[in-house]
Amino acid sequence: MKTFVHTDKAKIEEVIRKCDVCYVGFADTDGTPYVLPMNFGYKDGVVYLHSAQTGRSISILERNPRVCITFNTDRKLICQHPEVACSYSMHSNSVIAWGTVQFEEDFNKKVEALNVMMKHYTDRTFSYGDPAVKNVKIWVIELEEVTCKEFGVSYKNKHL
């Protein structure tokens, strides 16, 4: 089994689009790490997240807005010999991306961000009440460095 590095933008976006959750890693200024599962939207190299206005994640972001986001999908347990533990592996596609959280305050841009997030999960269209838009915290993360790896690829099945 082999791990492949993908640099193709279309492949990276396909992996991100297939995920229903991302894992957002924060680094507090005292060095304490914090990772949260979050729903998300993605469009044109930008990840959109939403949250309550306060909480541990918001407090950390006020001190350090840098985040690392992991996306992981297509997990499948595979093995070459069922009796051999070290022949077990997991096929999977994974993307890791870094960026800086900016909070969106403009009402119409918050609605656009909510639409991007909802579109990730459903083709329905939505309207939002003013208080809902005003009360939600919208995070906008322009992805800077992005890496993509595919794990558990059989030599036999992969044609380079």
Ligand X SMILES: Cc1cc2nc3c(=O)[nH]c(=O)nc-3n(C[C@H](O)[C@H](O)[C@H](O)COP(=O)(O)OP(=O)(O)OC[C@H]3O[C@@H](n4cnc5c(N)ncnc54)[C@H](O)[C@@H]3O)c2cc1C
Per CB under 6 A, residues contacting ligand X are 21, 36-39, 50-52, 55-57
For ligand X, the closer of residues 38 and 143 by Cβ is: 38
Which residue number, 51 or 72, has a Cβ lying nearer to ligand X? 51
Question: CB 149 → ligand X: shortest distance, Å?
Answer: 22
In the complex, minimum distance from the CB of residue 72 to ligand X, in angstroms, rounded to a whole number: 13
CB 17 within 8 A of CB 42: yes
Q: Identify which of 45, 51, 28 has the alpha carbon closest to the alpha carbon of residue 95.
A: 45
Rounded-to-integer distance, Cα 127 and Cα 109, Å: 14
Comparison of 51 and 74: residue with beta carbon closer to ligand X: 51
Coil/strand/helix, residue 63: helix
Nearer to ligand X, 57 or 93 (CB): 57
Spatial distance between the Cα atoms of 102 and 66, rounded to a whole number of angstroms: 10
What Rg value do the Cα atoms of the chain yield, rounded? 18
Smallest separation (angstroms) from ligand X to the CB of 118: 11
* Residue 48 beta carbon to ligand X: minimum distance, rounded to whole angstroms: 10
